[in-house]
Amino acid sequence: MAPRTAAMVLAGITLPDAYGSLFIDVQRSGRVSLTALYRLLEQAHLSAMDIDKITQIVVPNGTSYVTRSEFNTALALIYCAQNGIDISLNALYHHRESLGVPNLTSVTPTSRIPNPLHSDIDDSLTTNASSPLVSPTGSSSTATMLTSNTSHDTNTAKPKLDTRTWFKNVEEIKVTIAPEREGFIFKHVNYIIESQKRSSIVLRRFSDFWWLMEVLNRRYPFRMLPNLPPKKLGGRDSAFLEKRRKGLSRFINAVVRHPILRSDAVVTKFLTEPTELAPWRKQHPPSLDEEFQRKQYNMDDIRAMLPNDLHDQIEKTGTGVAAAITHYINLCYIMERTIRRMHGQATDYVRYSIALNSLAESEHRYHASECRQCQLVVQGYEKVAKHMQKESSILDQQVGLSTDGVLENLKRVRDLLVSFRELMMRKERLSSNDSSDNLTKRIAATKAKLNQNKGVPGMEAEVDKLTTSLQSDEQELKDHTHRQMFIHYCIWSEMTYLHKQQTHVSTLYRQYVKEMVAFSKKRYENWHELEAPVFDMPVEMDAFE
pLDDT (tens digit, 9 = 90+) per residue, 269-317?
A: 999 999 999 899 889 899 999 888 888 878 888 888 888 888 999 999 9
Residue 289, phi then psi, degrees to nearest 5: -65, 150
Task: State which of 250, 271, 295 marks the end of a domain.
Answer: 295
Per-position b or e across 107-134, b if 16+ CB within 10 A of its CB: eeebeeeeebbeeebeeebbebbbbbbb
Distances (CA, A) of 338 to 263, 311, 347, 414, 478: 38, 40, 14, 18, 56
Phi-psi map region of 164: left, alpha, beta (phi>0 left; psi -120 to 50 alpha): alpha
User: Residues of the chain with pLDDT > 70: what percent?
Assistant: 86
Same domain, 37 and 129: no
Same domain, 291 and 144: yes
Domain CATH for 30: 1.10.238.10
Same domain, 99 and 128: no
Residues 488/310, Cβ–Cβ less than 8 Å: yes
Domain CATH for 290: 3.30.1520.10
Give the pLDDT of residue 368. 58
Give the pLDDT of residue 118. 41
Q: Indicate if the pLDDT at residue 489 is higher than 50.
A: yes
Same domain, 37 and 183: no
Q: What's the whole-number mean pLDDT along residues 16-22?
A: 87
Distances (CA, A) of 390 to 36, 347, 524: 12, 12, 12
The rounded distance, in Å, linking the Cα atoms of 276 and 353 is: 50
Q: Cβ neighbours of residue 197 under 8 Å, at least 6 residues apart?
A: 135, 169, 171
User: Residues of the chain with pLDDT > 90: what percent?
Assistant: 39
Closest CA to 394 of 299, 497, 525, 302: 525
| β pairing state of 146-147 and 65-66 | unpaired
Q: Cβ neighbours of residue 130 under 8 Å, at least 6 residues apart?
A: 124, 172, 405, 408, 409, 412
For residue 418, being part of any structural domain is answered with: no
Q: Predicted confidence band at 179 (pLDDT cuts at 50, 70, 90)?
A: confident
Side-chain half-sphere CA neighbours of 412 within 13 A: 30
Q: What's the whole-number mean pLDDT along residues 9-38?
A: 85
Q: What's the whole-number mean pLDDT along residues 56-84?
A: 86
Same domain, 72 and 104: yes
Per-position b or e across 278-308, b if 16+ CB within 10 A of its CB: eeebeeeeeeeebbbeeeebeeebbebbeee
Q: Which domain holds residue 83?
A: 17-112
DSSP 121-172: S--GGGTTTT--S---SS---GGGGEE-PBPSS-SSB--EE--TTTTSS---
For residue 402, being part of any structural domain is answered with: no
Give the pLDDT of residue 129. 35
Task: State which of 235, 262, 295 marks the end of a domain.
Answer: 295
Condensed to tens digits (0 to 9), the pLDDT of residues 107-147 reads 544 443 344 344 343 333 333 333 333 333 333 444 445 44
Same domain, 220 and 136: yes
Give the pLDDT of residue 146. 45
Paired with 202 in beta bridges are 193
Same domain, 98 and 130: no
The rounded distance, in Å, linking the Cα atoms of 5 and 509 is: 44
For residue 204, being part of any structural domain is answered with: yes
Between residues 468 and 434, the one the model is more confident about: 468
For residue 360, being part of any structural domain is answered with: no
Condensed to tens digits (0 to 9), the pLDDT of residues 415-436 reads 999 999 999 999 888 876 667 7
For residue 80, being part of any structural domain is answered with: yes
For residue 441, being part of any structural domain is answered with: no
Same domain, 142 and 223: yes
For residue 391, being part of any structural domain is answered with: no
Give the pLDDT of residue 144. 43
Same domain, 80 and 174: no
Residues 529/387, Cβ–Cβ less than 8 Å: yes
For residue 160, being part of any structural domain is answered with: yes
The total number of residues shown for the chain amounts to 545
Task: State which of 62, 87, 112 marks the end of a domain.
Answer: 112
Percentage helix, strand, coil, to 5, in the chain? 65, 5, 30
Same domain, 202 and 254: yes
Closest CA to 386 of 240, 258, 283, 533: 533
Mean pLDDT, the chain, rounded, equals 82
Give the pLDDT of residue 393. 93
Same domain, 150 and 273: yes
Query: Which residue type, as a one-letter code, is found at position 265?
Result: A
Same domain, 284 and 158: yes
Paired with 201 in beta bridges are 194
DSSP secondary structure code for residue 231 in this structure: P
Count of domains forming the chain: 2
Residues 193/202, Cβ–Cβ less than 8 Å: yes
